[in-house]
A = this chain, B = another copy of it.
């Protein structure tokens, strides 16, 4: 019974079937019939004209997005606990050619428009200080909180006023949208997001994420950068197939709803233990070492989040029934 991370869950059967169907010869790289559908399908999903490309990982998606918005001598404003800062081995520095991540605080790993504005104001406008070129936010955040459309809009206002690009790391974008109950457009391009890393791997996919350019001018050079990074797979149709399968019948949303629902069950069971509101599929709770050992002894796997804290993540493939034993075990502590 794993609550360690959604990134190791199984692949949805529909995705597996799509891979089988894709196993016919076609043009290499992204010249195949499936890859050719991506931009159209995502334009339909987002109700605006976008350019979409597949990449294998969220780290690649994020870094390509940042490289599209930020020159090597510039900077990207993000939360100090952002995945791009904490968990990507310096990938943004690699892809941007050495640009600087500018780290801000914020409750629940959320950036506020005020914090971004204050940070930018404090940078001297001279050549000695790195100037920001973009802001990157994660939705849902690393603590499972969700940016609401007006929060993104406020950030975007700051960005527009200062000529900064706005990137959304959507490794758990599906969970965020499911949580908000809004249209995916409402929390992205309609509130000023330029580029979105739309994650599928944590939500039923195998190894394919989508990079969505609402600002299509940023896409052209990314085709070269993706190849240059070794991310233009020759059998790209298998990545496209995964993504298309996830889009069909809104499988991405359905899967996310399951994971989010599971998280709510655990949230209720956790009560006062909760460290953050549970808005997506991650639960952060107070847990002593003894309690953690007890839960593990009962067969539950999860992540220690520093002393006396734990992170539980629910996945698309865990039904309410699957969650129940852990919920009860937490209550019983």
Contact = CB atoms under 8 A, between A and B. Distances in A.
Interface stretch (A89-97, A108-116, A185-193, A249-257): A89-97
A135 to B, nearest CB: 17
A8 B23 contact: no
Closest 6 CB pairs of A and B: A60-B230, A93-B98, A59-B230, A8-B28, A7-B234, A97-B97
A101 B75 CA distance: 13
A57 to B, nearest CB: 5
Interface of A: 2, 4-5, 7-11, 16, 19-20, 23-28, 32, 55-63, 71-75, 86-91, 93-101, 103, 127-131, 201-202, 206-207, 221, 223-235, 238-239, 317
A229 B28 contact: no
Given A71-B221, A224-B127, A230-B63, A235 B89 contact: no
A90 B99 contact: yes
Contacts of A129: 86-87, 89
A278 B88 CA distance: 41
Contact of A90 (B59, B73, B89, B226): B73
A88 B2 contact: no
21 contacts: A2-B25, A4-B27, A4-B28, A7-B234, A8-B27, A8-B32, A57-B233, A57-B234, A60-B230, A72-B94, A73-B224, A75-B90, A86-B128, A89-B227, A91-B230, A93-B98, A94-B228, A94-B229, A127-B223, A201-B235, A207-B239
A90 B230 CA distance: 10
Contacts of A201: 233-235
Contact of A128 (B74, B88, B127): B88
Given A23-B10, A228-B90, A235 B207 contact: yes
A195 to B, nearest CB: 15
A91 B127 CA distance: 11
Among A72, A93, A103, A230: residue with most chain B CB under 10 A: A230
B88 A11 contact: no
B90 A57 contact: no
A20 B15 CA distance: 11
